[in-house]
Amino acid sequence: MPSTARPLSPHLQVYRRQIQMVTSIVHRATGIILVFGGLLVAAALLALASGADAWACVTSLAGSWFGLLVLFGWTWALAYHWLNGIRHLLQDVGWGYSIAQFVRNGWISVIGSLILTAIVWVAVYSCGGIA
Binding site for other proteins (CB under 8 A): 28, 31-32, 34-35, 38-39, 41-42, 45-46, 48-50, 52, 55-56, 75, 78, 82, 85-86, 88-89, 92, 120, 123-125, 127-131
Give whichever of 14 and 127 is closer to other proteins, judged by the CB atom. Answer: 127
Contact yes or no for 75/117 (Cβ under 8 A):
yes
Beta carbon of residue 122, minimum distance to other proteins (angstroms, whole number): 10
Beta carbon of residue 106, minimum distance to other proteins (angstroms, whole number): 18
| One-letter-per-residue 3-state SS of 35-93 | HHHHHHHHHHHHHHHHCHHHHHHHHHHHHCHHHHHHHHHHHHHHHHHHHHHHHHHHHHC
Which of 119, 86, 118, 121 lies closest to 105 in space, CA to CA?
86
- Backbone φ and ψ for 98, nearest 5 degrees, come out as -70, 150
Beta carbon of residue 5, minimum distance to other proteins (angstroms, whole number): 13
d(CA 121, CA 119): 6
Give whichever of 52 and 99 is closer to other proteins, judged by the CB atom. Answer: 52
Beta carbon of residue 14, minimum distance to other proteins (angstroms, whole number): 19
Give whichever of 21 and 100 is closer to other proteins, judged by the CB atom. Answer: 21
